[in-house]
Amino acid sequence: IPTPTPHIVILPSAGMGHLTVSTRLAAALVSHGCLVTLITPLPMVSEAESNCISNLCSSFPHIRLLELHLLPFDAPDVDPFLRQFESIRRSAALLEPLLVSVTPPVSALLTDVTVFSSVVPVTKALRIPIYMIFTTCASMLALVSTFPGIRKEAGDGPIESIDIPGVGTIPGSRIPRPLHDPKHLFTIQFVETGEAMLQADGILSNTFEALDGDILAALNAGAVVPGFPPVIAVGPQEPIKLRAAARPAVERDDWMAWLDAQPPKSVLYVAFGNRTAQSREQIKELGIGLEKSGCRFLWVVKSKIVDKDDDDGVELGELLGEGYLERVGERGVVVKSWVIQEEVLAHPSVGGYLSHGGGNSTFEAVLYGVPPLIWPGGGDQQMVAAQVEKRGVGVWIKEWGLCGVNQVSSDDVAKRVREMMEGDNAVGESVRRMQEEAVRGLGPGGSSYEGLRKFIAGVVE
Ligand code: BUP
């Protein structure tokens, strides 16, 4: 009897850190022979997300799109991406007619961690298996899964520290800051997610054995939470290769041509993800620090949280200070808002990455063998930084505090950047060794590749 083609439906969430993982999984599942339908929650928050969907469709025309028109959630003071999570969560009931009407019938629904708990009742009512997509490191997964009890024990107060079996002690300062406030919308969503997790048929995690093997083993042995669903590490999923026609016209030629002209491993890539905007003062100080370091750099500047928001038409020259670009000359390239990061990290001229420690960005750095120098901001970023430091595949600059919150001086920037780019670089060696393991994991016989096959086999059973 021929095996039926599984029909996987994916509901992503907001922000590039989340959407990226869903779209890469969609592409990987298609290449493993699945039929894939992607539900797009509309309207999207940022231009980058809309571009990401267009790129996916033009590179994978067989992926079907279904639109989910969101109920508005009017909360102007809430972070726009968190607001969108809530909007998707509140619109979950609208999924039912979509899931009922698609053909062939849905074999499984995959949905992002940030909206998972609201989707569970819908899939349970329709008897559709549900899998959670977890976008970041395994210690963060362990944190979500144990957090409901921890939050309850702490009452209304902040959390001092957390002991998680198989993970260790996590100081309160390392967890996302809103979690100290039980009434914060992020905390409410986080607790609901932790409570609903046990109902998942499985969890597809974007991390990988070489980085997170010990914690994944603890989760799968039920040492963190008894009866925990199987966690299948399928990351770091490879970036989607854009077809020529799908390439965005953004400043690309300038920075690629410049990278091509630089000596091997001489360039520091500087970017802080799609959700961490910096103050104008900090942008100037960072710029002066990069200039003082004397190193070559490619820097993505982000002064606003959402790319399409008005930034008063401020030009780069004004953001960086008069004469800056001229002074730096050929030694540095500054791009406002966005580059194709995977192409930058894959470029032979790039030898270091000053980063915010976002899950995807850090996994991508490992996949391309570029050591990250991490200045973490909110969310999972300190947890990622801690794991990277534990494995010796990156450096966490603890004394800088939190990116987007604390200010760092140009002298400190120059010092740390020089150390990373000119030091003896044992970290560089470790990251290249882990790169080899990550790349092996993605090929036939590798842990991430076989993990995905195992998931597909489970769905068609
Ligand atoms: Br900036 C930037 N180009 O210029 P993370 C980012 N990216 O392709 P975050 C670009 O966005 P959350 C750019 O490669 C990565 O895949 C980058 O995801 C890409 O962090 C993604 O690293 C960013 O997980 O999201 O943006 O802070 O907080 O939601 O994890």
Ligand 1 atom 7, closest CA: 341
17 CB near ligand 1 (under 6 Å): yes
275 CB near ligand 1 (under 6 Å): yes
339 CB near ligand 1 (under 6 Å): yes
372 CB near ligand 1 (under 6 Å): no
- What is the dihedral angle through the alpha carbons of 243, 363, 20, 96, rounded to the nearest 10 degrees? 140
Contact 271, 299 (CB under 8 A): yes
Kindly give the parts of the chain with pLDDT less than 50: 245, 249-251
Q: What secondary structure, in 3-state letters, does 174-228 show?
A: HCCHHHHCCCCHHHHHHHHHHHHHHHCCEEEECCCHHHHHHHHHHHHCCCCCCCC
Question: What pLDDT score was predicted for residue 249?
Answer: 46
What's the CA-to-centroid distance between 20 and ligand 1, angstroms? 8
15 CB near ligand 1 (under 6 Å): yes
What's the CA-to-centroid distance between 15 and ligand 1, angstroms? 8
Question: What pLDDT score was predicted for residue 313?
Answer: 64
Question: What pLDDT score was predicted for residue 415?
Answer: 97
Ligand 1 atom 14, closest CA: 341
87 CB near ligand 1 (under 6 Å): no
- Comparing CA positions, the residue from 174, 134, 179, 170 lying closest to residue 152 is 179
Question: What pLDDT score was predicted for residue 103?
Answer: 94
**pTM, to two decimals:** 0.95
Ligand 1 atom 1, closest CA: 273
Question: What pLDDT score was predicted for residue 7?
Answer: 97
Pairing mode, strands 108-112 and 7-11: parallel
Question: What pLDDT score was predicted for residue 274?
Answer: 82
- Comparing CA positions, the residue from 104, 103, 214, 233 lying closest to residue 167 is 214
What's the CA-to-centroid distance between 361 and ligand 1, angstroms? 6
User: Which residues are identified as catalytic?
Assistant: 18, 112
Question: What pLDDT score was predicted for residue 1?
Answer: 65
Half-sphere exposure of 26 (CA within 13 A, CB side): 31
What's the CA-to-centroid distance between 357 and ligand 1, angstroms? 9
Question: What pLDDT score was predicted for residue 253?
Answer: 59
What's the CA-to-centroid distance between 16 and ligand 1, angstroms? 5
